[in-house]
Chain A
Amino acid sequence: MRCNHIREQWDELWEGEATAEVRQHLTQCAACARHYRDLRLVRSGLHLWKREEAPEPSLGFAERLVRQLGEMSKAPSVADFFESVGRRFVYAGLVLTFLALLALALPPTGPVRGLTAADIQISAQEASLAYSDPMEETNWQETPDLAPVEESAPAVPNEVK
């Protein structure tokens, strides 16, 4: 008998006793003997647990439980209330999350608004750039900065200067 055969019979060994053939192999193979010894050790421990008697229910356990259940079914359960309210919060949260994801998935176009004075000014600057000769040095110098037009700074009172 080889080690493989022993390992194939593992479940049988777990539930029953080793056959004479297996026992003979165990006397010749240290690895399998170690394995079998562990198996017996664990199995004995499990059997000891199995034999342990569970504690008895205390006197009147069922009666107390029924009384408790009766009281619980009379009064509307606070837990049930919170459960139903909580469930609504979860649904609302899911809807909001879905809407937020939808908003993120849409193309990032801004809201439609009317033209402002600053927009018209920038458009005029862009138009003048389009018709100017970029190679002309004078035009380079004269080309206004495309940065947003800032309002002129308020005059500083003379006292501060």
Chain B
Amino acid sequence: METPGAQIVDEIQWIKRAQQGDAEAFGPLVQKHQQRVFSLIYHLVRRRDEVEDLAQEIFIKAFRAIRSYNFQSSFATWLSRIATNHCYDFLRHERASRVSFYWQMGENSQQELESNAESQPEQVLDHEEQIVLKDLVDKLLARAPENDRKILMLKELQDYSVEEIAEILNLKPTTVKVRLHRARKRMLEDLREWREENKGHAL
């Protein structure tokens, strides 16, 4: 089994060959990073059926741009940056939905769900409650401003550290912290506003 050091040397060789236009050398890079790219796309776009097509486009884009990779950041970070931007081009025209299963629940069911979410781990919630909660967050993310969405998804769904997000988004770590704080706050404010809009619509 190869040591991590040997793996890094291999990766550098593949990148250098790919920079000369060698598509074969790009294969091992795809193999190595495809899982991470698929996961990133899925969490950014949250549509299973779109993931593979988007991944293909992202890897093609990366191969075409690989000469611009200058080894300053890790290849994974560079690839994540391309993937994040590509997904955002894809999502740019997405229209925020005004409908969520959550608002279609009765007021008692909403309160029960809130109380369950507050008191127990989310994986213990029943299947239906999980679907409602995921749908609510999906819609809230879709309604959020683009910069908020990027940061929230990289942090909350992909579990990147503040430093990694800073590298992917070309920001300072302190800026990421401030933006993350604001994005979380805005998301909760949006939930409150949305609740006001839907008052009386609950079954």
Name A's B-contacting residues (CB within 8 A): 10-11, 14, 35-42, 44-52, 54-58, 61-63, 65-66, 68-70, 72-73
The reply to whether the CB of B175 lies closer than 8 angstroms to some CB of chain A is no
Residue of A nearest to B29 (CB): A62
Contact A41 B117 (CB under 8 A): yes
Measured in the bound complex, the distance between the Cα atoms of B43 and A73 in whole Å is 31
CB of B31 closer than 8 Å to a CB of A: yes
Q: Is B76 an interface residue (CB 8 A)?
A: no
**Is B31 a contact of A62 with CB atoms below 8 Å?**
yes
Q: Which of B59, B123, B134 contacts A45 (CB 8 A)?
A: B134
Interface digits, B2-13 against A, CB 8 Å rule (1 contact, 0 not)? Answer: 000000000000
Residues A10 and B134 in contact, CB atoms below 8 Å apart = no
Q: Given A37-B118, A45-B136, A50-B156, are A66 and B34 also a contact pair (CB < 8 Å)?
A: no
Q: Quick check: B156 and A46 within 8 Å, CB to CB?
A: yes
In the complex, which of the residues B42, B118, B152 contacts A52, with contact meaning CB atoms closer than 8 Å?
A: B42
B56 on interface, CB distance cutoff 8 Å: yes
- B153-164 CB mask vs A (1 if < 8 Å, else 0) is 000111100000
List the count of A-B residue pairs having beta carbons below 8 Å apart.
125
Question: Is the beta-carbon distance between B187 and A42 smaller than 8 angstroms?
Answer: yes
| Closest CB in chain B relative to A47 CB, distance in Å | 5
Q: Which residues of B contact A50 (CB under 8 A)?
A: 43, 156-159
Chain B residues whose CB sits within 8 angstroms of the CB of A65 once the complex forms = 26-27, 30, 56, 59-60
**B197 contact set on A, CB distance < 8 A:** none
**B159 adjacent to A55 (CB under 8 Å):** no
C-alpha spacing A82/B126, complex, angstroms = 54
Q: Are B133 and A61 in contact (CB under 8 A)?
A: no
B67 within 8 A of A: no
Chain B residues, Cβ within 8 Å of A42: 136-137, 140, 187-188, 191
When the two chains form their complex, are residues A44 and B24 in contact, meaning their CB atoms are under 8 A apart? no
Q: Which residue of A lies closest to B136 (CB)?
A: A45
Q: Which 9 A-B pairs have the closest CB atoms?
A: A45-B137, A54-B42, A69-B23, A44-B122, A54-B39, A62-B30, A44-B117, A45-B133, A66-B27
The answer for the CA separation of A63 and B30 in the assembled complex, in Å, is: 9
Q: A41-B118, A49-B138, A68-B56 are in contact. List 11 more A-B contacts (CB 8 A).
A: A10-B181, A11-B181, A36-B118, A41-B191, A42-B140, A46-B157, A49-B134, A54-B39, A57-B34, A57-B52, A66-B23
Distance between A14 CB and nearest chain B CB, rounded to angstroms:
6
Whether the pair A55, B156 counts as a contact (CB closer than 8 A) is no
22 residue pairs A–B, Cβ–Cβ below 8 Å = A10-B184, A41-B114, A42-B187, A42-B188, A42-B191, A44-B122, A45-B122, A45-B134, A46-B152, A48-B122, A48-B123, A48-B134, A51-B123, A52-B43, A54-B35, A54-B41, A56-B38, A57-B34, A61-B34, A62-B34, A65-B56, A68-B60
